[in-house]
Structure 1
Amino acid sequence: MDNQNETMATEQVVSSSGFDSDKTLGIIAYFVFFIPFIFSKKSNFARFHGNQGLNVLLFSVAVNVVGTFMFLLSWLILPIGNLMVFVFIIIGIINVSQGRTQKLPLIGEWNLLGVE
């Protein structure tokens, strides 16, 4: 029960007025993480999702590097890891479309760019 309360406490909802461009940048961030940092320097919403997009990218790189070098287990690591990347992207896009700044499961705590 405490975990659910923590999730609700860290989740913020953005009002729908005036945030269409930030939502668009937030969705783009899950494919090209640095775009919100170039085009929306003052939007914490877009920057938050840019940071989450970077987390997804780093997780994807880690999965593929580990899967490549551990060739005996690559048949297991690569499909599961890449499916997780796809799920993280879908969760992130759903969060953006609902105007939420909710961290992704497993990798959301990584705050490499210092975005709150």
Structure 2
Amino acid sequence: MIELGSTSNFEEDRISYFEECSVNIGIALNAAKGREKEQQLLEETQAQSEELQVQHSELETSIQSWKHRPELQASEEELKVQQEELMQANAELEERSRLLEEKNHLIAERNNEIQKK
């Protein structure tokens, strides 16, 4: 919240200017929040991707050590299911991040349009 004061009454053109500025400030703050959320989601996606890679490496190691065991096939299937679930979750997070990026782009475009007026 911003409060403006004056020793005399504001003229109508100044009030209009302040209102226009407040809209631009609101858009800029909203865009900044969106970028912050986008960065947070991107970091989460990257962390999950790294986790997925670590789990994949662990799965590969487990598969190699279990090659000669009869229960290998069942374990391998279970690990593949887990890997697919993680990949799907990662894809969903990337999609959410992409959507946020698009939203921020639209907000920035609207902000530019308002500033041009």
With the length of structure 2 as denominator, give the TM-score of the two structures.
0.43
Could you say which structure has the higher helix fraction?
2
Which is bigger in relative contact order (C-alpha 8 A, separation at least 6)?
A: 2
